[in-house]
Structure 1
Amino acid sequence: MTADTHQKRADIQGLRGIAVLAVVLFHLSHSALPGGFAGVDIFFVISGYLITQILLKDNLRLRDFYVRRVRRLFPALYAVLAFTLVAGLLILPPALLSELVYTQFFTTLFLSNFAFARLTDYFDSGAGLKPLLHTWSLAVEEQFYLVYPVVLLAVRRFAGRFLWPVIGLLALLSLAAAQWSSRPEAAFYLPTTRAFELLIGALCVAIRLDLSNALKRVLSLAGVGLIVLSLICLNDRLPFPGLWALPPCLGAALLLVTCDGWGNRLISAPPLVWSGDISYSLYLWHWPMLVFARLLFGESLWPSLAAVALAFGLAVLSWRYIEQPFLAGRPRRPFALAGGAMAVSILAALLVFNAKGLPQRFNTSERAAFAAADDYNPDRKRCHLAREARVAYADTCVYGTPVVAPSVAVWGDSQGAELSLALGERMPGAGVRQITASACPPSIGYTIAYNSACRAHNADMLLHLTHDPRIETVVLTANYHRYADENLPAMLGGLELSALDLSRAGKHVVIVYPVPVYDFDPPSQVGLAMHLGRDPRAVGMSRAQFDRDTAQVTAQLDRFVSAHPLAAIRPSDVLCDEARCRVYTAGDGVLYFNGQHLSLTGAKRVATLFTSQAPSLHAK
């Protein structure tokens, strides 16, 4: 992303332009370019190629290499860090500000990828609240720059004839680690599982294509085609990186080695080259601008477009007045200057973190709204299964009076975690067993790509539920929206099979209809609305939009429920009125702890429906 040479190839700058524009468009709207996140992979290939070229120069001194890295990376990055901290002090709730400075600390040390590997899945909705999330890729590159030059020059000196086989072997090992990682969410961020992309670029330096011009032209067009198909066809549901990262990487590699084919000329168009020139600054600026715009104005398209336009303007200014002067200049003590900037950044982060995010910036009502982010089942970590995890039926959690054997079970994905506790508190005499697992709807026979344990988990739970004589009622619930791209009809069909098997076993079955879900963070949006003098009751979506979004699911559930002796619970009855679905009410407060999940307060509101609409629970 940040490698550079003194004589720049126009096609490489154009390739950089494609990469950064793809990332920006993906962050603007995932649906606009589903595979746009692969722009980062293209950056990695370019960086590996250019860095290897630089390192193999005969007269290169490692000190000169690292001095140029400092002059290239640090100035623009620290300008963005300073802006982000100031904006965070003005806008972010205490918890998010604490998280921001926590990640700023690691970003300063070029270790943010490890911090984010622990904090979040890159594609989760909560990732949109992290203004420095995009710095993970800078950290990967910097870690590569620290280790790779030493390895490359050592192998070149002591085993020069094996240089390229060694690099090829390292690339294969990294690809294998990415493909078969036991922690796929973390693998997205780690240098060991990303190194193969940079090493593919390095291997391009060794390739000398002795081909006809006609064949080079075809190969360069194939490279463009691979990149275009990747950006269109990849999506955030696929396991990544790994084998799915090869198409964009190989497409970039073909363009690097063909040099002057038709594809190279195509990507040398002036607008793409210009975007490539400002790509580093644009990459740095665009994501914080989008995060802050969405926090202030919600997920509406126009504020996001304005944020991207502003990011372009800031990128041009950053490139002209920060990047270029520092690259052209010759500071006398570059490492001392860099160390001083790092010290200031770390000190500022520690001060704000130790002040617990400076909650005194907000009044009591605003702090209460922000605190809804922690209003979830306190036993969620213990009782709710993480993705790919398994649990014995007897070890699942039970709520209600301890001496009462559970007669109700809540079976579902993460939507059921808070509902289980809410029902247990509302019907303590019944006893409620929680059977919930992330990304695992209660759909028998259904296979989901990113949770291979789900199918077996469901089969096991269904077997136990049908044979447990103490369980009289089973509540089925799911975040239906999450499976829209994962063969939703098959998921709903499996849900029907689960319900029928339970019903035939003599169980009362309750189907929970869709809960409104949001692309923003309700606690932050409500608290900021209060802080800015807006009506927090306006935060939400129109009822018409909710009805459109859930029409397919609702129609199929209606047909199924009407044809069988099942009960139905419609959370929208207490979460929406005729005009809007809301995330806040004056009486209850914030009803969600994040955009995809009801808070415990919201779940208790939904739980009131069960005793009135589920006949089997009337007497519980």
Structure 2
Amino acid sequence: MLAATTITGWAILTPEDFHQFSKALIAASVFAANLQFARGTDYFESAEGLQPLIHTWTLGVEEQFYLMFPLLLMGASRWRKDAMLVLVTLLGLASFALALWLAPRWPVAAFYLLPTRMWELMLGAACALLPKAPRKNGWLATTGLCLILAGLWLIGPETPAPGPLFLLPTLGTALIILFAQSGTGVARLLGWRLLVLLGMISFGTYLWHQPVLFFLHYVWFGPLPMIVTVAGIFAALALGTASWRWLEEPVRRRRALARPARLVLACSAALIVPLAAGGAGYLTVLLPRSGAEAQRLAGLRPPNASAQVIVQDRRPLSFVLYGDSHAAQYFDAATARFGTGALLSNPGCLSAGAVSNRLSGDPEGAACRGLAARLTELVAERQVRTVIWAQRWERMLYADGSDAPLGTTFGKGGTHLVQAMAGLADTLPPQTRVIIVGNSPTAWAAGPLLEHGWLRCRAWRNVDCPDSYPAARAEGREVSAMLSAFAARDPRFTYVDAQAPLCPDGRCLLRQHGQLNYWDGSHMTTPAAARVMATIGSELLRP
């Protein structure tokens, strides 16, 4: 599955998605996918690149359990063999309590990590450790089936996971395991031949269904036609059957790889190959098939696009580039044009001293709100004469200290923004120039087709991707006009229009002079950033 998914991913994924896929591939190859996904998704990551292997998180939890649980049982048996059931029960209850406590506080970790999912496995272990007394009980078996059906009905996408409702399918399964013995109605129902066959191929089908359905969705814009979805389900069932017939059964029945040494060698090779491919993809040594077109169009992510703070020690700084990731997108181009500079940014953050777009309870709130003070300190310490302030300017603002909502920057919050910007300029040394770079037009403004950029749009097989869109739809036009007027009133500020070089003749270009202007849905490529930086007069950065 990993090998086939890697080949398919190489054939159809964009460079950005293949890079993220490679991280998931590395993690899945060492049964640590749950640890990778529990870290969450950073600002730049496209969730699509992780999706083909997202289901392997369960294999990570299982493998970690299989490594830990035998050691636990060995320790317990050396102490008191009759204590194992008590130990398993206590650990299961502790794990469930931890899950309930952690889910509202850190839902991603609660969902993916072994300590908060171990209670489900411990429930199965408890079933195995219970005394082997006669257990045939049709009523309890039926109750178990009803609990599973209730779980299917009540658990939805918004249900906290794991949470109390997940007791329904897990306890229901335990009741069936314990009491649905031969002769009960539930045993006859679940013994239906079709269900038995589905059960036999269930593991392989589980492995294959996610990549099959993901890749079908990846190449089709909009809802997938029903006939294609059904074909994908049957393809997953066919692949699951093939896996069971030619991989699982021969190994399980010792018809293949019967010798332990051969089994270890085959398993190691099967995992080392995708592990190596994942490493090569993550390091960009291996690019997907679309990588050649991305390179030709200069559409790969710029080297410092994900950087937050870059400060060269003991070197004169021509400028400080300040803002969010829309500031970081200019750093390489600004350095090429103006010489050594510094970057001070925080993804998704607008920090103007007295106001910001982050609430105090936001995990990133403190770092964002402290950015303005760091700017003041750096400019004074390094005697920098020019600050280039670039942002995605369309934000909701809150007052620092009180979290009072002030409105959007393109609405009533605009007045608070320019007042705060003037106040921040007051904290800088006299004669400091502040160059405001207006809002990037972005690819997003072209509509849903360009949500993840032009290269991603090209991966869809059922649409034609636009090369431009009307300049009237460019993002941030209202707030940019307000910032331009503000700079005209305050001599400490100079306004630079990011839209002008990218939107000539009333059209915002996604491809310009044979190169892409955006490497994703929002952020500029190096050539596009260079076009904007070229509009800044070099005299503004002279001492």
Per the normalisation by structure 2, the TM-score is: 0.63
Matched, 1:144 2:65: yes
Residues in 2 aligned to 1:546 and 1:194: alpha-carbon distance in whole angstroms:
51
Distance 1:442 1:515 in 2: 21
**Alpha-carbon distance in 2 for matches of 1:351, 1:127:** 22
2:536 aligned with 1:605: no
Contact 2:28 2:60 in 1 (8 A): yes
Shift of residue 314, structure 1, vs aligned partner: 0.9
- The counterpart of 1:227, out of the listed 155, 162, 168, is 155
Q: Percent identity?
A: 21
Paired position in structure 1 for 2:429: none
1:159 counterpart letter in structure 2? A
Asked if the contact 2:323–2:349 (Cα under 8 Å) also holds between the matched residues in 1, the reply is no
Q: Cα 1:465–1:194, aligned 2, differ >3 Å: closer, same or farther? A: same
How is 1:122-201 mapped onto 2 (pairs within 5 angstroms)? 125-130=45-50, 131-148=52-69, 151=72, 155=76, 157-160=81-84, 162-163=86-87, 164-172=89-97, 189-192=112-115, 194-196=117-119, 198-199=121-122
Any idea what SS the aligned residue of 1:435 has?
strand
Does residue 246 in structure 1 map to residue 172 in structure 2? no
Unmatched 5+ stretches in structure 2: 180-185, 398-403, 427-433, 445-449, 489-493
Cα distance, 1:618 vs. partner?
Answer: 9.5
Aligned position for 2:401: none
Aligned to 2:337, which of 406, 422, 426? 426
Report the alpha carbon displacement of residue 477 of structure 1 after superposing the two structures with TM. Answer: 0.6
Measured against aligned partners, the alpha-carbon deviations of 1:315-345 in whole angstroms (never above 9, x if no partner) come to: 2213444437856983445665754542442
Check whether the contact 2:391–2:438 (CA below 8 A) recurs between aligned residues.
Answer: yes
1:477 equivalent to 2:391? Answer yes
Residue 126 of structure 1, CA deviation: 3.1
Q: CA deviation at 1:301?
A: 1.6
Deviation at 1:605, TM superposition (A): 2.7
CA contact (8 A) 1:610 1:617 kept: yes
CA contact (8 A) 1:289 1:307 kept: no
Preserved CA contact (<8 Å) 2:25 2:278: no
Structure 1 residues 420 and 560: CA distance shift in structure 2, 3 A:
same
C-alpha displacement of 1:122: 8.4
Measure how far apart 1:169 and its partner are. Answer: 2.4
Q: Flag the 1:126–1:150 CA change in 2: closer, same or farther, 3 A.
A: same
Q: How far apart are residue 135 of structure 1 and its match?
A: 2.0
The residue aligned with 1:442 is 351
Residues 439-481 of structure 1: CA distance to partner in whole angstroms, max 9, x if unpaired?
A: 43336254359952x3333433334657867666562413859
Is the 2:43–2:347 Cα contact (8 Å) retained in structure 1?
no
Report the equivalent of 1:591.
517
User: Is 1:285 the counterpart of 2:212 in the alignment?
Assistant: no
Question: Is contact 1:477–1:512 with CA below 8 Å preserved after alignment?
Answer: yes
**Are 1:584 and 1:590, in contact at CA under 8 Å, matched by a contact in 2?**
yes
Q: Which amino acid aligns with 1:129?
A: G
Shift of 1:193: 5.2
Aligned match of 2:370 in 452, 457, 460? 460
Residue identity opposite 1:195 in structure 2: M
1:359-398 → structure 2 map (5 Å cutoff): 366=293, 368-369=295-296, 372-377=299-304, 381=307, 384=308, 397=311
Q: Distance in 2 between matches of 1:488 and 1:202?
A: 52
Partner residue, 1:330: 253
Aligned partners of 1:227 and 1:247 also within 8 Å: no
Does the 8 Å contact 2:123/2:174 carry over to 1?
no
Please report how far the alpha carbon of residue 502 of structure 1 lies from its aligned counterpart in structure 2 after TM superposition: 1.8
Mapped to 2, the partners of 1:562 and 1:437 lie a distance apart of 23
Q: What are the residue-to-residue correspondences of 1:504-583 with 2, within 5 Å?
A: 504=423, 509-513=436-440, 515-517=442-444, 518-520=450-452, 539=465, 543=469, 547=473, 554=477, 557=479, 561=483, 564-565=486-487, 571-575=498-502, 583=510
Q: Is the 8 A contact 1:177 1:192 kept in 2?
A: no
Could you say what secondary structure the match of 1:195 adopts?
A: helix
Q: Give, as a single letter, the amino acid of the residue that structure 1 aligns with 2:211.
A: P
Partner Cα distance (1:397, 1:545) in 2 = 36
> How far off its partner does 1:592 sit?
3.5
Q: CA deviation at 1:293?
A: 4.8
Deviations 1:161-194 (A, max 9, x none): 623123222444566677777xx97786543454
The AA in structure 2 aligned to 1:437 is N
8 Å CA contact retained: 2:391, 2:439? yes
For 2:327, the equivalent position in structure 1 comes to 416
CA deviation map 1:345-364 (0-9, x unaligned): 24644776798889799799
Pick aligned residue for 2:237 from 291, 303, 316? 316
SS in 1 for 2:94: helix
Query: Scaled by the length of structure 1, what TM-score is found?
Result: 0.57
Paired with 2:117 and 2:288, the residues of 1 have a C-alpha distance of: 40
The structural deviation recorded for 1:129 is 2.6
Cα deviations across residues 500-523 of structure 1 (Å, max 9, x unaligned)? 212245575554255234544656
Structure scoring higher RCO (CA < 8 A, sep ≥ 6) equals 1
State the Cα deviation string for residues 395-450 of structure 1 (Å, max 9, x = none).
x6379x953564x65222x222122443344345xx85532113433362543599
Partner of residue 316 from structure 2, selected from 398, 403, 407: 403
Aligned residue identity for 1:411? G
Checking the alignment, whether the CA contact within 8 Å between 1:512 and 1:569 is kept in structure 2 is no
| Residue type of the alignment partner of 1:121 | T
- Contact 2:24/2:53 (<8 A) preserved: yes
Q: What's the counterpart of residue 71 of structure 1? A: none
Q: Residues 214-257 of structure 1: CA distance to partner in whole angstroms, max 9, x if unpaired?
A: x99998897566513xx1x36xxxxxxxx764255345457657
Distance in 2 (CA, whole Å) between partners of 1:545 and 1:129 is 31
5+ residue gaps, structure 1: 1-79, 235-242, 386-395
Asked whether the 8 Å contact 1:106–1:112 carries over to 2, the reply is yes
